[in-house]
Amino acid sequence: MDGIRFVMLLAALVVGFALAGCPRVDDPVVETGKNTAVPPEAAPSPVVSAAEEPKAPAMERRAVVTKVEIVGADEERAEDGRGGTIAAARPVAIEITAEAWPVRALDPVLHVGDLEFRHYTFPRLNVLRYVAADRALLPAGAAAWIQYGDDAASRIEVAGSLEVPR
């Protein structure tokens, strides 16, 4: 019961201080005796000059891909490009290096033709690494790009024709 009384007393003190200590806009200022309310006719105009216009948000920095490597991998299980993880037969890692990758709320998805690879790692600075379960799954000469979610504007070209060593 003592805990409840303490909480009630504390709540009453907080409300009392809030009501007693918060001046209102139309309260007189002690030094001048005038209130701070602005009559409607003296209110500032809603028209904003060109110099005061809000600036457009800065354009998102786009990643510039500098290198694409397809190397052997030693994973036991990897992606099939169709949403599944399967036993890896001849797994390959697709390592994509960029000057810098943008920070986004959604994960980057690698598209190779009609295939999508969603699981990635950062083995080194500015390198995204995706692993395909079998090099034979990757279509020869297919276009490859990275995209964040469904945002087509975030598309980053990786290769116009991805050359997969067979």
Amino acid at 40: P
Residue where the block lists tokens 């457009």: 56
| pLDDT given for residue 40 in this prediction | 56
Segment among 98-107, 117-126, 156-165 with least mean pLDDT: 156-165
Distance, in Å, from the CA atom of 139 to the CA atom of 124, rounded to the nearest integer, reads 26
| pLDDT given for residue 129 in this prediction | 98
| % pLDDT > 90, the chain | 51
- pLDDT tens-digit profile of 35-75? 655 555 655 555 655 556 555 555 556 789 999 999 999 99
Report CA-CA distances (Å) from 39 to 25, 35, 148: 12, 11, 51
